[in-house]
């Protein structure tokens, strides 16, 4: 089954009375279990694509199906449930909640899912240990480096074990050693739990790890590589 499938997806943004054409007819399908990267220069539409695939934004025209469901046919509530249950998002700008500690940030999605408090704490501690942040549970985001905040964001996406993880430039703020560890962790998860990963990236290391690379330019798919 395809986890994400787009047909003729167009995304325009209105900006100061002009229109920015971020995606210009994108047809892509990502099967369950893929470990794939969307690569392209700055402004080519990578984040836009991930936001649409993650049901965080809506298309201007065309269709997107996530987990076999045409998202335009889902109610707001159904979309929220789909996002909450099935999709983990690692944002380019982390999007951590500043007033919450590290462990509170990570357990937040579990709280939304109604997971018992003690279990949420256990699972969050485990996710934080997996990304190498044991001992930092009680720090606030502003008390951590950019790379550490990125790892909190990754732990937050991993903790609910979603079927699909969308990661917008997950290694951009990490040194290459940490970046490699994070990619190895994601690959292990892909192999053991079958989690589908779609990355956006400029990073050649992410492209080395990816099994498939979709190159986009000016909002269109330029070419693809499969390994
Ligand atoms: N909210 C927005 N309003 C207006 N224009 C936007 C908005 N978000 C993105 N854009 C524009 O859409 C195009 C695609 O942006 P996008 O963020 O998807 O690129 P990207 O490939 O992720 O770039 P980067 O590698 O720099 O993160 C760019 O021209 C950008 O300026
Ligand atoms: Mg981007």
What tens digit of pLDDT does each residue of 6-19 get?
999 999 999 889 99
Spacing, Cα 220 to ligand 2 middle (Å): 15
The residue whose CA has the least distance to atom 5 of ligand 1 is 13
Interval 80-95 mean pLDDT: 89
pLDDT digits (tens, 9 = 90+) for 22-50: 999 999 999 999 999 999 999 999 999 99
Which ligand is closest to the CA of 24, given by its number? 1
Ligand 1 atom closest to Cα of residue 200: 22
pLDDT of residue 37: 98
Residue 62: closest CA among 133, 8, 136: 8
pLDDT digits (tens, 9 = 90+) for 112-121: 999 999 999 9
Euclidean distance between CA atoms 126 and 30, whole angstroms? 29
The predicted model scores a pTM of 0.93
Which ligand is closest to the CA of 51, given by its number? 1
The residue whose CA has the least distance to atom 6 of ligand 1 is 13
Pocket mutation for ligand 1, best pick of 47, 93, 214 (most atoms within 8 Å of C-beta): 47
139: left (phi over 0), alpha (psi -120 to 50) or beta: beta
Contact 1 CB / ligand 1 (< 6 Å): no
147, pLDDT greater than 90: no
Pocket mutation for ligand 1, best pick of 23, 37, 44 (most atoms within 8 Å of C-beta): 44
pLDDT of residue 177: 87
Interval 53-82 mean pLDDT: 95
Write the CA distances from 19 to 9, 24, 44, 74, 186, integer angstroms.
16, 12, 15, 27, 37
């Amino acid at each position: 089954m395809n986890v994400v499938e787009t047909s003729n997806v167009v995304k325009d943004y209105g900006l100061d009375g002009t229109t920015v054409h971020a995606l210009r007819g994108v047809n892509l399908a990502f099967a369950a279990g893929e470990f794939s990267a969307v690569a392209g220069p700055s402004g080519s539409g990578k984040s836009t694509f991930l936001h649409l695939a993650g049901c965080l934004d809506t298309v201007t025209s065309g269709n997107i199906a996530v987990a076999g469901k045409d998202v335009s046919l889902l109610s707001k509530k159904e979309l929220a449930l789909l996002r909450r249950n099935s999709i983990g998002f690692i944002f380019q700008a982390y999007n951590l909640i500043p007033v919450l500690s590290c462990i509170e940030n990570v357990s937040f999605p579990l709280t939304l899912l109604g997971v018992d408090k003690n279990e949420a704490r256990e699972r969050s501690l485990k996710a934080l240990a997996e990304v190498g942040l044991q001992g930092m549970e009680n720090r606030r985001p502003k008390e951590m480096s950019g790379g550490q905040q990125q790892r909190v964001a990754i732990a937050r996406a991993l903790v609910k074990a979603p079927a699909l993880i969308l990661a917008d430039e997950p290694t951009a703020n990490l040194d290459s050693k940490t970046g490699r560890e994070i990619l190895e962790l994601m690959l292990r998860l892909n192999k053991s739990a079958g989690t589908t990963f779609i990355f956006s990236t400029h990073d050649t290391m992410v492209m080395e790890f990816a099994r498939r690379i979709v190159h986009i330019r000016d909002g269109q798919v330029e070419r693809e590589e499969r390994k």
